[in-house]
Amino acid sequence: MKFNTKTIHGGQHEVDPAYGSVMPPIYQTSTYSQSTPGGHKGFEYSRSGNPTRSALERSLASLENGKFGLAFASGLAAIDAVIKLLKPGDEVVSTSDLYGGSYRLFTKIFEDLGIKFHFIGMENAATIENYINDKTKLIWVETPTNPMMNIIDIKATAAIAKKHNVLLAVDSTFATPYLQKPLDLGADIVMHSATKYLGGHSDVVMGALVVKEEKLAEKLYFIQNASGAVCGPQDSFLVLRGIKTLHIRMQRHCENGKAIANFLKNHPKIEKVYWPGFEDHANHEIAKSQMEDFGGMISFVTKGNDYDQAIKIVENLKVFTLAESLGGVESLAGHPASMTHASIPKEEREKTGVVDSLIRLSVGIEDIDDLIADLEQAIG
């Protein structure tokens, strides 16, 4: 089954046997009747499992060419479950350019529990090996990174991880399974903030993990159930609905993203545009080899690194909405230094390029002429 068909049918069983419902029903229930203690029809309590959530988890596994999918209450809840595979004294090698919420979780929660994190640039995958020792248990990768759009070679990183018997987890939120499949490139775990492109309509918060290996899946399922950060059936239904149009939405996100990236690159008031589709983008060739296209996420800085100018631009946008998050059908603009990455200390932010004039765009699926006109009037 090819990808475009998987978004509609992947991992889904026949129509609902009760009434022939084409879409999996929303099982809005917390518990299930039992004929005898322990005698049930596969579900006993909705923290442990729910038919609507299970339908979503099968779909997620299918999209990533994995075997086991897990859905969580948020992307951070999914990341939390991965780090809970570790114990005090273990070490993690993480990319230095990553979502601010991930950085906050790692440094403010798990470092206090005795897990050590090394935040490094991973554009040259060989660098990773310098930070691996006998305490290293996990390599955490984002690619493309948030918000600098750096590309990390998943295949090369997976080879390093396997050489040292270390788990490799990839946050593939920006790429989605439509553009990139980390498990096929050797990763052990792929993570998504399903709030973004998978849901696609800015109406749900959810996270997801997909793995191939059964023992690893069993550990993660145990953590999911024991910690309880699961999503509800209504949210599961919404993301499953969103997935059914993922392929056609991503086509338009990519088309519009390319047009806007080129518009910004040629604008006299823009200093630098970060988008992996440019031939002069670092690791552009790796992006070409591990991605189907280059996506709809773009970051840029104005000339002179002018903070006031950046704020003026995002406040003057009319079609783009100034808001947190990304990946919805509507175009969004954000100021990472004061929004998504505010939890990262300024010195650490600026080391990775997240300067005060940086603007991040999530390019939606509106008419491209309207989006360009909006940027033109806002930049001035």
In order, the DSSP letters of 212-270 are S-HHHHHHHHHHHHHH--PPPHHHHHHHHHHHTTHHHHHHHHHHHHHHHHHHHHT-TTE
117: enclosing H helix or E strand? strand 116-120
- How many Cβ atoms from other residues are within 10 Å of residue 380's Cβ? 9
E strand residue ranges, 162-230: 167-171, 189-193, 207-211
CATH class of 3-243: alpha beta
Map out the domains of the chain as residue ranges: 3-243, 246-379
C-beta separation of 336 from 311 below 8 A: no
pLDDT at 340: 85
pLDDT at 38: 87
Cis peptide before 268 (omega within 30 of 0): no
What fold, for 246-379?
Aspartate Aminotransferase, domain 1 (3.90.1150)
**Model-wide pTM > 0.75:** yes
Cis peptide before 233 (omega within 30 of 0): no
CB under 8 Å to 181, separation ≥6 — which residues?
A: 64, 65, 190
Please give the positions annotated as active site: 47, 99, 171, 196
- Separation of alpha carbons 375 and 304, rounded Å: 18
β-strand pairing of 116-120 with 68-72 = unpaired
DSSP type of residue 123: S
pLDDT at 257: 98
One-letter amino acid identity for 243? Answer: I
Considering the chain, what percentage of its residues have pLDDT values greater than 70?
A: 100
At 13-32, the pLDDT tens digits run 767 778 889 999 999 999 99
At 99-151, the pLDDT tens digits run 999 999 999 999 999 999 999 999 999 999 999 999 999 999 999 999 999 99
Q: What is the pLDDT confidence band of residue 287, given thresholds at 50, 70 and 90?
A: very high
